[in-house]
Amino acid sequence: MRTGIIAGVLLVLVSVVAGILYWRLRKAEKENVQLTEEKVQLEEEIRELDQRVTAMQQELERKDVEISEKTRRIEELAKELENARARIRKYEEQGRISARQAEEMRYKTEQMAYYIQKYQERIRQLEEENQQLRARTAELEEKVQQKETETRQVQAEKERLEVKVRAASYLKAIQMRFAAVRENGKEEWDVEFRARRIQRLKICFTVLENEVAEPGERVAYVVIADPTGKPVTNFASSSGYFTLMDTEQPFSTKATFQYNRSRQEVCALYDRPAEQELQRGTYTVSVFCEGIEIGRAQFQVK
């Protein structure tokens, strides 16, 4: 009987011990699963952090992010890296990860820390380069503005000189004379004529010397305006059209001459149509050359 009691007590003890061992085993298994999950999570966080560090390196190489934004993101990476280091130390102290795993993780984080430090140095270099570029850009912009101002001044002066040269190169006609030419060729020079006696009108004028004007062929267009201001023309003989102020204007007659920069007389003939008689009054004769009026005079018809 005593043996039976001892056996019962031993059975109870064995059951209790077995229960304790089973409970401890289940607890250890649960803790092991939890540690494994935490380890996997930490490794995933480190991998993600490593990817972000690599992405930051690419952005730095492209320079497509503002320096202030780069600085902020580098600081965030540095903080997250420090947090990862702290977790590795904590897990190692608590025995949640092995010494080998902790060493591997520390090695990885040290690599990232090295790159972050390099990126921080690169950002400082970029900031210095940007400051130098801003200073250089400001200097260049100032020079560009100065050059633009100088260019405008030079252009304005050039235009003024061109106007002066152009004005100086214009020919000038003076001493305009008129003659009624008879059928026998006799010329009657005057400033007053009887209407019936003007069948052919000769207009002569003196072109002054001009050292600035280019020598060469010139065409002088003569416009005879009647007392009403209407041009007198004979398109069957000597009249035609010339360009004045971008418009076509009729002329009475014209004279082509070779200009040699010296004073010379130029003459042109106007043939009155047989069926057209000149009316009485004051006639104005204008001479145009190279698009401007170079001389003007008047004669009377009685």
User: What DSSP letter does each residue of 229-287 carry, written as one string?
Assistant: SPBP--TTTT-EEEEETTEEEEESEEEEEEE-SS-EEEEEEEEPPTT--PPSEEEEEEE
Same domain flag for 12 and 129 = yes
Is 168 contained in some domain? no
Q: Which residues 6+ apart lie within 8 Å of 91 measured at CB?
A: 35, 38, 39, 42, 97, 102
| Residue 8 confidence (pLDDT) above 80 | no
Using the CB atoms, write b or e for 160-196: b if 16+ within 10 Å: eeeeeeeeeeebebeebbbbbbeeeeeeeeeeebeee
- Region 84-109: mean pLDDT is 75
Q: What is the mean pLDDT of the chain?
A: 78
Is 166 contained in some domain? no
Token pair recorded at residue 276: 């057209």
Same domain flag for 110 and 190 = no
The Cα–Cα gap between 17 and 137 comes to 84
Same domain flag for 122 and 181 = no
Same domain flag for 70 and 186 = no
Same domain flag for 105 and 184 = no
265: β partners: 206
Same domain flag for 126 and 204 = no
Element (H, E) at 30: helix 2-62
Residue, of 33 and 188, whose pLDDT is higher: 188
Same domain flag for 74 and 193 = no
Element (H, E) at 104: helix 99-169
Is 118 contained in some domain? yes
Is 147 contained in some domain? no
Q: How many domains does the chain contain in total?
A: 2
Same domain flag for 180 and 94 = no
Residue, of 206 and 53, whose pLDDT is higher: 206
Instruction: Identify the domain boundary among 114, 136, 158.
Output: 136
Same domain flag for 78 and 187 = no
Is 155 contained in some domain? no
Same domain flag for 32 and 125 = yes
| Residue 294 confidence (pLDDT) above 50 | yes
Same domain flag for 297 and 180 = yes
Is 38 contained in some domain? yes
Is 162 contained in some domain? no
Q: What is the DSSP string of 38-102?
A: HHHHHHHHHHHHHHHHHHHHHHHHHT-S-HHHHHHHHHHHHHHHHHHHHHHHHHHHTTSS-HHHH
Is 132 contained in some domain? yes
Q: Residue 11 in 3-state DSSP?
A: helix
The Cα–Cα gap between 290 and 221 comes to 9
pLDDT digits (tens, 9 = 90+) for 54-91: 666 565 555 545 667 777 777 777 777 777 778 778 77
- Kindly list the distances between the CA atom of residue 86 and the CA atoms of 77, 109, 184, in Å, as whole numbers in the listed order: 14, 11, 127
Token pair recorded at residue 189: 């020079």
Same domain flag for 199 and 277 = yes
The domain in which residue 295 lies consists of 173-301
Give the closest residue to 205 by CA, choosing from 225, 231, 178.
Answer: 178
pLDDT digits (tens, 9 = 90+) for 255-282: 999 999 899 999 999 999 888 888 999 9
CATH number at residue 187: 2.60.40.1930
Residue, of 293 and 130, whose pLDDT is higher: 293
Q: What is the DSSP string of 111-139?
A: HHHHHHHHHHHHHHHHHHHHHHHHHHHHH
Instruction: Identify the domain boundary among 110, 136, 162.
Output: 136
